[in-house]
Copies of this chain bind each other. A is one copy, B any other.
Amino acid sequence: MQPNPLRYCFESGATALGGWLNLPSSTGAEIMAGLDLDYVVVDMQHGLIDYSDSLTLLASIAGHSVTAVVRVPWNAPDHVGKALDAGAMGLIIPMVNSEAECRQAVESASYPPHGRRSYGPSRAAIVEGPEYFDVAQVSIIPMIETSEALDNLDAILSVNGIAAVYVGPADLAISMGFKPGSDDPAFLTALDLIVTRSDAHGVVPGIHATTATAADRLKRGFRMVTITTDLVALRTKLAEDVTLVRAGLVGDTTQSY
């Protein structure tokens, strides 16, 4: 049985910090999982990661003190089932905009009588042990990322079986008529509303952040906050490195060719 700090945080009220994988690199996953984090997300929606990659990444994360979470590409039973059979102990489901869609997400992730998940936990039973069927406590985490979801917020939050909700700020901003990276007051008010209503329903409020926005999100009361992403870190640092050295090359500040 793997450690499950995300679940611990959810149950104890502690704040969970996470890292995000967009690259299909097992070494990147080992680096991320070795940091002082509570969960690591394998992003199969916008990440450059498919099912086979996810198996490799999950195997690379295992053995570290972080919960392995998968964001599935879509709220569909095949994606949900395969991610869980692969051993995900947390599941972020994008574009959950209504109570019905939330209920569908929970049902896809739960065995009868609570849902319609099909039995066959190939890798999950290997890493979580033979009692996986009885005791597995997967954290089901629908995303709130549209105006429509905001309109249906209380209905979504009242669905049995969800541990947290996870805000996709770029999509939420776009859906509200802003751009990715918005800090419009209306947008920030929406974030606060999600925290307040989640707390009221006993659901953990979570959000996708960057190292730059994490402090603000934590201050607003989010208790599951993703603070860094491999692809962003790589792009940012490489560009910084090149800019820095080029700047020091007097009279030769651009590519020589």
A interface residues, Cβ below 8 angstroms from B:
3-5, 8-9, 12, 14-17, 19, 22-32, 34-38, 45-48, 50-53, 55-56, 59-60, 62-65, 73-74, 76-79, 81-82, 85-86, 94-95, 111-113, 116, 118-123, 126-127, 133, 145-146, 168, 170-171, 174-175, 177, 179-180, 211, 214-215, 218, 227-228, 230-231, 233-246, 248-249, 252, 254-257
Contact = CB atoms under 8 A, between A and B. Distances in A.
A187 to B, nearest CB: 14
Given A27-B231, A46-B85, A215-B248, A22 B122 contact: yes
Nearest to A143: B118
Given A27-B126, A34-B127, 13 more contacts: A5-B255, A17-B245, A23-B27, A36-B242, A36-B255, A46-B81, A46-B85, A62-B63, A77-B95, A94-B118, A119-B168, A126-B235, A228-B241
B242 A238 contact: no
22 contacts: A14-B252, A14-B256, A15-B249, A23-B25, A27-B126, A28-B234, A29-B59, A30-B127, A31-B238, A38-B256, A45-B81, A48-B123, A59-B59, A118-B145, A119-B174, A133-B179, A211-B244, A228-B245, A230-B238, A233-B234, A233-B241, A234-B234
Contacts of A77: 74, 95
A230 B235 contact: no
A214 B230 CA distance: 25
A25 B22 CA distance: 11
Nearest to A238: B233
A248 to B, nearest CB: 5
A11 to B, nearest CB: 11
